[in-house]
Amino acid sequence: MRITFCGTGAGGAISRERANSSIHLEDGGVRLLLDCGPGFLERMVEAGLDPDGLLGVVYSHLHFDHAMGIVELFCRLLARRGPPLTVYGPRDTDAYIEAARGFAEVNLARPQMLEWLAGVGVQLTRPGDEREIGPFTVRSVEVPHAPQLECLARRFELGGRSLVYSGDTTYAPEALVPLAEGADLLIHEAYTQGAIERMAEQAGMSAKAREAMGGAIAATHSQAEEAGRIAQAAGARRLVLTHLLRTEREEKLLAAAGAVFDGEVLVARDGLALEV
């Protein structure tokens, strides 16, 4: 398996350096996108990855920074004659894709385009789901992130190799440690307290506003050290930290996770490619 990060920034943190969440997964010519956040398409092209011919998109959850790039992808693929795309996702992915189809439809110029768009498949992969997607065996478990959304972490296996992607989650060892057991690579979202403080400082926030922002992030996301604890408890071989705030510093992320995890830790950046 080969993965390429096509977006590593947290929601609202799009910058020249980081598009929103998207990971390209490839093996033997079969290609999937794990999440499809805004800005992913440019990063795919920059990485030399052809957006045509994707087998599917696998959503962790439907927050805009993981999901909204789908309209861009539909519009790009309308004119192609390739196989139909399938979108796999949690509860309500069917309604989301129906809406995305509507946005894409205004670009239809030929009957074949409508045919392609109508052929986009949707498969709901609810908590506990296990299935084959192309050559990959994919297991899904629910993780706690946003109360109104079903959020899923996934394990992809192929030929004895395994990759786990946390999606967005608070610290959830009960869900993620069993899922990531012995994984060759764990991709886990992460933030540091220092990044929140720098962000508040730059924005000139009051102490109250700073506390509210910190509380909101703590209630929905994981600290780098917590990601390290998951990797350590699961016995993962490598850990990649992603979904990063604009104000993160690589050395702080590495130090926080590395203090509790014995394996290799990497900080994701757009364009980073790894063999699993």
- Give the interface segment with Zn ion, choosing from 55-63, 110-118, 235-243, 257-265 (CB under 5 A): 55-63
User: Judged by CB, which is closer to Zn ion: 169, or 247?
Assistant: 169
C-beta of 63 vs 238, nearer to Zn ion: 63
- Beta bridge partners, 140, equal 154
Identify which of residues 86 and 166 has a Cβ nearer to Zn ion in the complex: 166
Taking the C-alpha atoms of residue 189 and residue 163, their distance in angstroms, rounded to an integer, is 14
| For Zn ion, the closer CB: 8 or 162 | 8
Q: Smallest gap, in angstroms, from Cβ of residue 169 to Zn ion?
A: 9
Judged by CB under 5 A, which stretch of 134-142, 167-175, 206-214, 259-267 contacts Zn ion?
167-175
By CB under 5 A, which span of 88-96, 136-144, 160-168, 227-235 interacts with Zn ion?
A: 160-168
148 vs 206, beta carbon nearer Zn ion? 148
Q: For Zn ion, how many residues bind (rule: CB under 5 A)? A: 2
| Relative orientation angle of helices 111-118 and 93-105, to the nearest 10 degrees | 170
Query: Shortest Cβ distance from residue 146 to Zn ion (Å)?
Result: 6
CB of 16 to Zn ion, least distance (A): 22
User: CB–CB of 22/69 below 8 Å?
Assistant: yes
63 sits near Zn ion (criterion: CB under 5 A): yes
Instruction: Output 152 or 158, the one with its CB closest to Zn ion.
Output: 152
Dist CA 138 CA 132 (whole Å): 6
Q: Which is nearer to Zn ion, 27 or 168 (CB)?
A: 168
Find the binder of Zn ion among 168, 225, 248, 270 (CB under 5 A). 168
**189 sits near Zn ion (criterion: CB under 5 A):** no
Binding pattern for the stretch 10-49 against Zn ion, x by CB under 5 A and - elsewhere: ----------------------------------------
Using CB under 5 A, list all residues that contact Zn ion.
Answer: 63, 168
